[in-house]
Structure 1
Amino acid sequence: MGLFSYGVAPVITIEDRLLKHLQAVIVAKLRRRENFAFNWDQEPGVGTDVTHENGSHGSVWISESSSLYFQYDGSPSMALNRAWLEDLMQAANTSTGLRAVPEPAARGV
């Protein structure tokens, strides 16, 4: 289980595979100087050290001035699923922002 830390927000625990894909999308958007919201609300594989009555949920605004830290428990090398990256990027480009979406099967080339 990996960790995602953002300023004063609580540490968000995220499964390593999902975190690796989120990191790729976050870095790509920041390289293009695109600000966006990152939201979580009881998605599978995502949680925080802060638990609310109805579960874990929250939102942070990510911009080029953000200080982000990604930490992994597992192997640093893993293949990325291009279809999942596309789905996550599509979510990040909406008005509701980036959030974990289920990993799809790899699409044909």
Structure 2
Amino acid sequence: MGTLFYGSDRTAVDIDDRTLAHLQLAVVAKLRRHESFSLTWRDADGSGQGRHVLWVHESIPLRFVYAGSRMAAINRAWVDAMLATATTTTGMRVVPEPPLGGAAVAAGDAASALG
């Protein structure tokens, strides 16, 4: 289980490593273009906390920490799906992973392709 740390108060959001890797690519792609956006997700554990929303801006500290040392194979369609939600009124959402339409790409290759 990875963690997304956000803001000066270091708000911690636990997200599984595979999802976090895809979310990182989508978030960084937006921030590289100097685009601010809201990020929305629901608690997966049924804790009753419901829906969370963060405002993501390049001036706000953001850190991705992974539990595992291996980089996940990247499903480009998943990154694209998250990026597509970022232009909606509800902002970027962590969406379920779509089926792999083709071969997964190495994380480094996906990062350079999104830049």
TM-score bin (small chain): 0.7 to 0.9
Residue in structure 1 matched with residue 112 of structure 2 by the alignment? none
Q: Structure 1: which 5+ residue stretches go unaligned?
A: none
- The one-character-per-residue Cα deviations of 1:40-73 (angstroms, maximum 9, x if unpaired) are 222x37x9xxx6xx33432110011121010000
CA distance in 2, matches of 1:68, 1:87: 21
Are residues 1:57 and 2:51 paired?
A: yes
1:92 pairs with one of 79, 86, 95: 86
Residue in structure 1 matched with residue 67 of structure 2 by the alignment? 73
- 1:1-109 counterparts in 2 under 5 A? 1-7=1-7, 8=9, 10-42=11-43, 44=44, 54-108=48-102
Q: CA RMSD in A?
A: 2.1
- Corresponding pairs, count: 102
Partner letter of residue 2 of structure 2? G
CA distance in 2, matches of 1:95, 1:64: 20
Q: Higher helix share goes to which structure? A: 2
**Aligned-partner SS, 1:84:** helix
CA distance in 2, matches of 1:21, 1:3: 13
- The answer (yes or no) to whether the contact 1:38–1:99 under 8 Å persists in 2 is yes
Q: Structure 2: which 5+ residue stretches go unaligned?
A: 104-115
Partner letter of residue 100 of structure 1? V
Q: TM-score, normalised by structure 1?
A: 0.82
**Aligned-partner SS, 2:92:** coil
